[in-house]
Structure 1
Amino acid sequence: MASPDGNHRHPETNGEAKPPAPKKQKLSTSITDSEIQSEFSHHDASVARINNGSFGSCPQSIISAQQRWQLRFLRQPDSFYFNDLKAGILESREFIRSLINADDVSEVSIVDNATTAAAVVLQQIAWGFTEGRFQKGDVAVMLHYAYGAVKKSMEAYVTRAGGRVVEVQLPFPVSSKEEIITEFRRALERGKENGQRIRLAVIDHVTSMPSVVIPVKELVKICREEDVDQVFVDAAHGIGCVDVDVKEIGADFYTSNLHKWFFSPPSVAFLYCRRSAKLSDLHHPVVSHEYGNGLAIESAWIGTRDYSAQLVVPSVLEFVNRFEGGIEGIKKRNHEQVVRMGEMLAKSWGTQLGCPPDMCSSMVMIGLPWCLGITSERDTLKLRVHLRDRFAVEVPIYYRAPKEGEVDPVTGYARISHQVYNKVEDYERFRDAINKLVGDKFTCASLSA
């Protein structure tokens, strides 16, 4: 069966016959700078877009491939559903399996985003309470810097079902991974104080705000030593941003978006579930006709919708392999460049990075000058809008509450990203914008609410 891109599609039996392992494309030439700029020519050229971390970026060739899938569905939906959809999603799952070094394609489900993956895992934990397998007050542990939607999901599923949530209080700025490991151990101790069991640990691979690479392998190992039932790694920023080997990491669940750092269109993510009888009762939160056929098959059909972002994954792999070193080379260059740009900004503003370079990914936190007067989360939002509207700079800003006794504390940190389309001028524009605000004696108090 031929895909819209001319690739061969392999038929399947009940959605699970295994296609051949994907092969890395052998290319005669590497992508040029002009070709990169052409691939992202649909970006607003007037904006310094140094916030790839929030929504990712999709090149024009992948958008075109996606549109061909969309038209194929619209041309003859019945044929597409019965002949193409399952086989196409299975092939995408096999590509993902290879990327993350999972043992078998059955361990990989495709979902819309990491938030959906979290709902799958936390729903299962909630059932443990409601069905009496867990005791009221048993614990789920998560990082204080967990993504906001995951915190809400903890509230909706775990707390409401009778579980207790313990947060790992992490320092920021952070100077070493040992600080994180120490605080994680303390949180596990708090979780066990009243004889309760820790049923789940949710560990970010790369925290969003503030952005720090978490030592996941070390924390998963501690969970095993401390008899934590299940471990879920939320790596929304994982694929294309940090090293991902699910067997080395050793968690029960691992999720990552492909639309953030792997050039996929929104929205597509995967949920890896390590094979285990204990972990078999997992279901997509949207119940459709495939309920009961296993999470991967349930996730492949949740009703009529646009599945093109999930089907285009093999084309994305072809795109990244146009770069020297493929996704590994992209990841390395992004990390090195974002650290250089972060250090340039920190030097200009007389501040510092939020963590050592080896704890940065393709995103870096840089302290903003204290004289900007950032005193609250509201100030960070107002300043972000001001930078967008006046200087055409798109960058998220984080508020850090000052510690008692601090003099002229750095309370605002910018999170910059680097992706292949970024140029040095993007960061210089940000540098110059902040320097102008400082020179004009600007403070956030001058901005209207």
Structure 2
Amino acid sequence: MSAPAFRAHWSLDPDVHYLNHGAYGACPTAVLQVQSELRARLEAGPVRFFVRQYERLLDEARATLAAFLEAGAEDLAFVSNATSGVNAVLRSLRFSPSDELLTTDHEYNASRNALDWVASRTGAQVVTAKLPWPAPTPAAVVEAVLSRVTPRTRLFLVDHITSQTALVLPIRELVQALRERGVETLVDGAHGPGQVPLSLQALGAGYYTGNCHKWLCAPKGAAFLYVRKDLQADLKPLTVSHGHNSPRTDRSRYRLDFDWTGTDDPTPALCVPHALRFMEGLLPGGWPAVMADNRAKVLAARRLLCERLGVQPHCPEEMVGSLATVALPDGFPSPPPPPFFLDPLQDRLLFEHHFEVPIIAWPRPPQRHLRLSAQLYNTHTEYQLLAETLEALLR
């Protein structure tokens, strides 16, 4: 099946070259149809659905996701997004003024804010490891992180794949090295599942939270939190509800707490198995083929844009998944103050040239780069047109 044929499975605006799947994902229409059917089923009998059917449906969805992630189903809980997962962990753990909380200078802003807030309330110190840039290597990343570990380090918060710079970090090496030093790792895997192969059991991290609405293409509001069994007793969801004093003994307290935090729309989580199966069926090789196809596509796009703009790639190919960044040379409109104002170039690319692609100030203005995404519905022609457009704007 060609990329234009894949595009028919999504309801994306046909007049826009959507090269920003990494921002919020995009859910196939077939999965959205399943969600609509589940919502209709819920509204036809809310009590019947929540009291008599919901738990079984949630267990089935969790089991399917656990098999995909190579994790124990009993160690997974559904949350609304990865930021909620990060907050649940950070706000459950107890820290003291003598503790150090380690992270990197590439950490996602929302998660870093949660870390800073928790530290401010407990007196703990946030320590930031500066990663090598603009020419990182996996070994150099590990060295930079370990150089900041001390006997006071309690927790390491790290992106699996960085949002601003699209680096696939050496998570397994980091987790192992930190555990050898008595430090647990909280992995912010917002972009991980579906972009790179992932085995949570093999990884061994204490905590891993990831989105299902991005590269797994589930509806918005579907994400998960994995907690290693020996750490589950200390974890609570952001909303403490009926599970806290439930007399049930057939489920762990971790499951009872996270599975019901109040009435909301559970259909995004229940659609995860449908999204997994749908995406797996798009290529003969299943999920490994989907990830390999997207990676090859974004690497080719990165090479093309770097060549046309006369810049060097930021990182080795081994640190690239389905996202890649390309440095912008001087000559484009000046960016506004960071971090939450749209770059004028990003607006111009959309409104004048019909490209939805993010422009990110990194590490600080006026330095900027463009972040490319690759999903099955994207075509090489789109990246060629983007390169030609950027060349013309630069001139």
> Do they fold alike, i.e. is TM over 0.5?
yes
Please tell me the root mean square deviation across aligned C-alpha atoms, in Å. 2.0
Worse-superposed segment, 424-433 or 105-114: 424-433
Structure-1 residue corresponding to 2:291: 331
What is the aligned counterpart of 1:340 among 295, 300, 320? 300
Aligned residue for 2:185, secondary structure, equals strand
Could you tell me whether the CA contact under 8 Å between 2:164 and 2:362 is conserved in 1?
no
Number of residue pairs the alignment of both structures matches: 386
After superposition, where does 1:173-212 map in structure 2 within 5 Å? 173-189=134-150, 192=151, 197-212=152-167
Structure-1 residue corresponding to 2:390: 434
CA distance in 1 between counterparts of 2:148 and 2:245 reads: 36
CA distance in 1 between counterparts of 2:206 and 2:161 reads: 18
Shift of 1:227: 1.8
Worse-superposed segment, 314-323 or 393-402: 393-402
Query: Which structure would you say has the larger Rg?
Result: 1
Aligned residue for 1:305, secondary structure, equals coil
What is the aligned counterpart of 2:263 among 304, 309, 316? 304
CA 1:393–1:164 in structure 2 vs 1: closer, same or farther (change >3 Å)? Answer: same
Q: Identity across aligned pairs (percent)?
A: 28
Shift of 1:296: 2.7
1:371 aligns to 2:340 (yes or no): no
Structure-2 residue corresponding to 1:155: 116
CA distance in 2 between counterparts of 1:265 and 1:175 reads: 34
Aligned residue for 1:58, secondary structure, equals coil
Shift of 1:36: 1.9
Could you tell me whether the CA contact under 8 Å between 1:380 and 1:399 is conserved in 2?
no
Structure-1 residue corresponding to 2:367: 411
Shift of 1:374: 4.7
In structure 2, what residue type is equivalent to 1:414? L
Structure-2 residue corresponding to 1:381: 343
Which whole-Å deviations, capped at 9, do the CAs of 1:390-446 have from their partners, x for residues lacking one?
2111111222358xxxxxx9922111000011112221232122112112xxxxxxx
Shift of 1:286: 1.2
1:119 aligns to 2:80 (yes or no): no
Structure-2 residue corresponding to 1:90: 59
Aligned residue for 1:318, secondary structure, equals helix
CA 1:368–1:105 in structure 2 vs 1: closer, same or farther (change >3 Å)? Answer: same
Structure-2 residue corresponding to 1:60: 29
In structure 2, what residue type is equivalent to 1:241? Q
1:259 aligns to 2:213 (yes or no): yes
1:218 aligns to 2:178 (yes or no): no
Structure-2 residue corresponding to 1:234: 188
Aligned residue for 2:343, secondary structure, equals helix
Aligned residue for 1:370, secondary structure, equals coil
CA distance in 2 between counterparts of 1:292 and 1:169 reads: 43
In structure 2, what residue type is equivalent to 1:248? A
Gaps of 5+ in 1: 1-30, 130-134, 403-408, 440-449
CA distance in 1 between counterparts of 2:331 and 2:353 reads: 19
Shift of 1:385: 1.7
CA distance in 1 between counterparts of 2:17 and 2:266 reads: 31
Structure-2 residue corresponding to 1:21: none
Which whole-Å deviations, capped at 9, do the CAs of 1:81-123 have from their partners, x for residues lacking one?
1121111111111111111111x32101011110010011101
Structure-2 residue corresponding to 1:285: 238
Could you tell me whether the CA contact under 8 Å between 1:170 and 1:183 is conserved in 2?
yes
CA distance in 1 between counterparts of 2:161 and 2:259 reads: 27
Shift of 1:373: 5.8
Gaps of 5+ in 2: 247-252
Structure-2 residue corresponding to 1:137: 98
Structure-2 residue corresponding to 1:423: 379
Shift of 1:35: 4.8
TM-score after normalising by structure 1: 0.82
Could you tell me whether the CA contact under 8 Å between 1:253 and 1:272 is conserved in 2?
yes
1:313 aligns to 2:268 (yes or no): no
CA 1:410–1:161 in structure 2 vs 1: closer, same or farther (change >3 Å)? Answer: closer
TM-score after normalising by structure 2: 0.93
CA 1:399–1:81 in structure 2 vs 1: closer, same or farther (change >3 Å)? Answer: same
Shift of 1:383: 1.9
Structure-2 residue corresponding to 1:247: 201
Shift of 1:216: 0.6
Q: Which runs of 4+ in 1 moved over 4 A?
A: 31-35, 373-380
Could you tell me whether the CA contact under 8 Å between 2:336 and 2:343 is conserved in 1?
no
Worse-superposed segment, 286-295 or 298-307: 286-295
In structure 1, what residue type is equivalent to 2:264? R
CA distance in 2 between counterparts of 1:242 and 1:431 reads: 26
In structure 2, what residue type is equivalent to 1:350? G
Could you tell me whether the CA contact under 8 Å between 1:114 and 1:236 is conserved in 2?
yes
Shift of 1:211: 1.1
